[in-house]
Amino acid sequence: MLDIKFIRENPELIREAARKKRLDFKVERLIEVDDKRLALLREVEEMRAEQNKGGKEVAAQAGDEDAKTNLVDELKNLKTELKAKEDELAAVLKEWQNLMLQVPNVPDVSVPEGEDESKNQELRRVGKPPSFSFPVKSHIELMQNLDLADFERGVKIAGFRGYILKNDLVLLTLALWRYVLEHFVRLGFQPLFVPSLLKKESFLGTGFLPQGGDDLYETKDGFYLSGTAEVAVMGAFADEVIPREKLPVKVFAFSPCFRREAGSHGKDTKGLVRVHEFFKWEQVVLCEASHEVSVKHHEEITAYAEQILQTLKLPYRVVLNCGSDLGLGQVKKYDLEVWLPSEKKYLETHSASYYHDFQTRRLNIRYRAADGKFRFVHSLNNTAVATPRFLAALLENYQQADGSIVVPQALVPYFGKQVISQSNEATS
């Protein structure tokens, strides 16, 4: 959410933000409704003041019953008029609040134009895709041959896109989680396990509602299942004032995640790339209200994720997302994409974003600045690792001619073996 004063003073920026993000939002309608809101507020306040004044005058007419009766009648009429005006204000406020939740954040000037993700701008490539002297297998084939997953039973118990991980792939997942956890703890992040069943307010605050509701699972009692730990972390700080000396707050949060994958019918229907339930470690940073500081942290959380990919020796690229590939609140976003040999393309594994005070204004997360004034902190987030999607790229890049999988050297101390093979025995 943006400040209404900023919106009124910069309607052309909001208009351009909606155009660049390809959102159907009319800032003119918001300003029109805001004019009504302000006018009605003034009328209601004036009528309440008149009502208070009348109440005092009634008390002063103790000896004149006729005057007192007339004043009481006038106050009854005023009360009726005030109730009607308050009802009108409530209706306008409801529309105003709904429109305010739809205002897009202004993207950074470096964000490229584009109708869809095909217009994302590649910034750099790191590592060279492996060259295989044998027919490349998909992660689905590799897992089935090595008894690492059971998709048939997964669908049986969980429906479409269901899966069960088995045997060494379970151990590899735990090894990966532990490796990534230790990496970020060394970087000064506070590790958290957070809930994924959350109240609506946290989704409204982070911008996942109302626009992203189609991709969320809602329970019958009004709770929602989260698609990222960012929602819980941000909600945990709602209505708090963070001491300035505690900034930046750097959190490393884990949770189960759920997404309906609305609009992705026919895409990646098999395997581990696009599933309804997954697990994710997420970086979340809260910092002082400075664009320069936000940019610094954005580059840092991107670099932290790149360090994971580099130590695992996975080829990847970094892309700058175009306007239409940004969420409502994002100012700028980088995607990290790892090479997927079976499809000869890069697969998105991380998204690093910053929001300025878009989320924290909605959630009322503040700090007292050096000048003594309260300001809304800035927020950022980035994936650390999301499984099982990440496993697809890991297995495919490390496959061998005999169908075995070499374990990245960085994970061997956590996994305990160097190779995953049909025998499931350690190989030197």
The residues annotated with a catalytic role in the active site are 259, 274, 348, 351, 389
> If you ran DSSP here, which 8-state letter would residue 229 be given?
H
- Cα torsion angle, 394, 400, 404, 407, sign: negative
- Cα torsion angle, 12, 14, 20, 25, sign: negative
Contacts of 205 (CB under 8 A, 6+ apart): 234, 235, 238, 359, 362, 363
The amino acid at residue 338 is: V
Cα separation, 295 vs 109, whole angstroms: 13
- How, if at all, do strands 366-368 and 190-193 pair? unpaired
What is the H or E stretch that residue 285 is in? strand 277-287
Cα separation, 30 vs 86, whole angstroms: 20
User: Residue 355: which of 384, 385, 375, 326 has the closest Cα?
Assistant: 326
Count CB-CB contacts under 10 A for residue 54.
16
Tokens at residue 365, please?
A: 């997360």
End-to-end CA gap in the chain: 56
User: Residue 151: which of 138, 164, 141 has the closest Cα?
Assistant: 164
Burial environment of residue 251 by CB neighbours within 10 A (0 to 12, 13 to 18, 19 or more): buried
User: Residue 388: which of 258, 277, 259 has the closest Cα?
Assistant: 277
Tokens at residue 117, please?
A: 């993700």
Contacts of 133 (CB under 8 A, 6+ apart): 401
Residue 345: alpha-carbon gap to chain centroid: 25
- How, if at all, do strands 405-406 and 419-420 pair? antiparallel
User: Residue 212: which of 197, 227, 234 has the closest Cα?
Assistant: 227
- CA dist 133 to 64, 405, 408, Å? 107, 15, 20
The amino acid at residue 217 is: Y
- Cα torsion angle, 66, 71, 77, 83, sign: negative
The residue whose two tokens read 């009481």 is: 72
